[in-house]
Amino acid sequence: MKLALAQLDVAEAAPETNRTLAVQAIESAAASGADLVALPELWNVGFFAFDSYETLAEPLDGPSLSLVRETAAANDVGLLAGSIVENLAESDADGPAETGLSNTTVLYDRDGSRLATYRKQHLFGYESAENQLLVPGDSLGVASFEGFTVGMTTCYDLRFPELYRALLEQGVTLVLVPSAWPYPRVEHWKTLPRARAVENLFYVATVNGAATFDAATLLGRSTIYDPWGTELASSGDEPTLVFADIDPERVTAVREEFPAIDDRRE
């Protein structure tokens, strides 16, 4: 399976501009043979647009997700639709009715059907208003796609390895991580996803933004790690597409060669 990470130059509080960029990225990735395309965190509004979260929040069937879902389906590719600020009260949310705003990620199949939804569990508080404005999620987002069991986490979640262990218990073989990771924490960005891949012997793909806001500059460096923690493909900090061919059988082979998962003690 060819995975494409769309590292976008996200414009702050400009959803129409960002939707155009996302559509162009999906179409370009599909034309290059991608089977699955991933967008970054809060790609439609920008992570640091805290004053605009409430006014630009959308339901799951709102204009941003509808447009990228339809674009991916028209191009016969699966889509990890980054994340948006979701208005829970307006969404056809899974489970009991909820209110508030959430940082929400959705995985779509090639035909545009929704496979899984994940709401960011660990909300960032350091120089950020995310944990004051949003409601944390409390469930995993897991689905099957092209032979993989795909899990989703979002940005700051990378610092909490227990979440990735929970995904491992669900049989996950590929974790997609939409992010808005800023300078100067480059070494953290490089170390944490590689560690999550090594610990759990699965693929981890981090798709970051490439943009400068008043509050911060995103560092890009979207990367795909294999189950050994080997970097298969990566980028700099400019807008780009990152591609790598990945294989679910690779996870099986690595775990058979190095059975650390079997040696865990509860």
Query: Do 132 and 96 touch, CB atoms closer than 8 A?
Result: no
Q: Which of 12, 86, 130, 155 is catalytic?
A: 155
- How far are the Cα atoms of 23, 33, 161, 236, 240 from residue 191, in angstroms, in the given order? 31, 29, 12, 16, 22
In the annotation, is 169 catalytic? Answer: no
Question: How many CB atoms within 10 Å of residue 93?
Answer: 19
CA distance 196 to 191: 9
Three-state DSSP state, 10: coil
In the annotation, is 231 catalytic? Answer: no
In the annotation, is 41 catalytic? Answer: yes
The 3 state secondary structure assigned to 106-145 is: EEECCCCCEEEEEECCCCCCCCCCHHHHCCCCCCCCEEEE
Query: Do 16 and 28 touch, CB atoms closer than 8 A?
Result: no
Q: Which of 12, 86, 120, 130 is catalytic?
A: 120
Question: Helices marked H in the chain — which ranges?
Answer: 15-31, 53-56, 63-74, 130-133, 161-169, 186-200, 248-257
Q: Which of 12, 41, 58, 130 is catalytic?
A: 41
Write b or e for each residue in 191-219: b if 16 or more Cβ atoms lie within 10 A of its Cβ, otherwise e. ebbbbbbbbbbbbbbbbbbbbebeebebb
* Token pair recorded at residue 45: 């509004």
Q: Which residues carry out catalysis?
A: 41, 120, 155
